[in-house]
Amino acid sequence: MQFKRTILFFNVAFIAIGFAYFGRSNDRLDEAEGAVRLGQIQLVLSQSEIGRAALAQAEQYDVEIQFEAGQGTVYQSNYNTMTIDAAHSPERAALSFVHEMVHAQYHHEGIRPAMMAVGREAYVEARVLEEAEAVALAIEAKMALEAAGVEFGQAHPPLEDHYLAAHEAAKKAAVARERDISQIELAVIGQVAGRERAVQAFANGELLTSHTMETYPEYYGSCWDRTDMMVSLIIPVREAVPGHSIDELADWAIGRGSDSC
């Protein structure tokens, strides 16, 4: 069953997925509760350019939104669905929304390489860069929202301290070199340094995935390996018995491997 309504910026669908696939949860918000929670998140996001852009992308890509407590916030490209952790405050959820919309953008715009279209190393590097951009944009959204008066309490995006330390150090170094540098130039210098630090942290394994406790290069490398193994089992069958169904199975293995990561 699928419920849909238009709320503020875009069509929102709260989907109920059967127990056979994900399992039912008493912590999933119903349509009315989800609508209220989403409205609160939209109100936060509307106070910054980054947040408004994320909302516009959600409308453009027709992303379905659902809420479930204790599951974290995640975008699933195979369903075009974002599940937001209902236990998080609207402010914290807003930052997660920005983060996950980067993943949605990479999926819909074809920025993320198809898993088996590139080698393992290239795939891992691309996914690490994607994660770093998502984290950096969430931090930048928080900075902009704080400047607009939004209070986040103890809500801190991953790698916030790393980003801000590099951001401030780069700006101080720039001022020391050139006293009359503009604020716009300083902002760009700080942003570049912060983003480079985020990439470095992911690549060096300074941040672990929340569900497997692997470094991100390890995690995405394992994803590539699993998918490569599935495809290697299917391809000989496809070559021996050409057929549309076998082709679809190979495509499914690649797509399923990509979506599981």
- The confidence score (pLDDT) of residue 179 equals 81
Give the chain's end-to-end CA distance (angstroms, integer). Answer: 27
pLDDT at 23: 40
pLDDT in tens, 206-254: 999 988 899 999 999 998 898 888 777 776 655 555 555 555 665 666 6
Which H helix or E strand runs over 11?
strand 10-15
Domain segments of the chain as ranges: 1-119
What are 217's two structure tokens?
Answer: 């290069």
* 104-139 core/surface letters (b: 16 or more CB in 10 A; e: else): bbbbbeeebbebbeeeeeebbbbbbbbbbbbbbbbb
- Dist. CA 66–CA 35, nearest whole Å: 9
Q: Write out the DSSP string of 178-211.
A: -TT--HHHHHHHHHHHHHHHHHHHHHTT-SB-TT
Across the chain, mean pLDDT equals 84
Residue type, 2: Q
pLDDT at site 70 = 86
Task: Name the phi and psi angles at 81, rounded to 5.
Answer: -125, 135
User: pLDDT > 70: what percent of the chain?
Assistant: 79
pLDDT of residue 11: 35
Instruction: Report whether 107 contacts 261 (CB < 8 A).
Output: no
Residue-wise pLDDT for 22-78, tens only, equals 344 558 888 889 899 999 999 999 999 999 999 999 999 999 999 999 888 999 998
Q: Give the pTM.
A: 0.82
Residue keyed to tokens 């980054």: 50
The residue that leads in pLDDT, 246 or 17, is 246
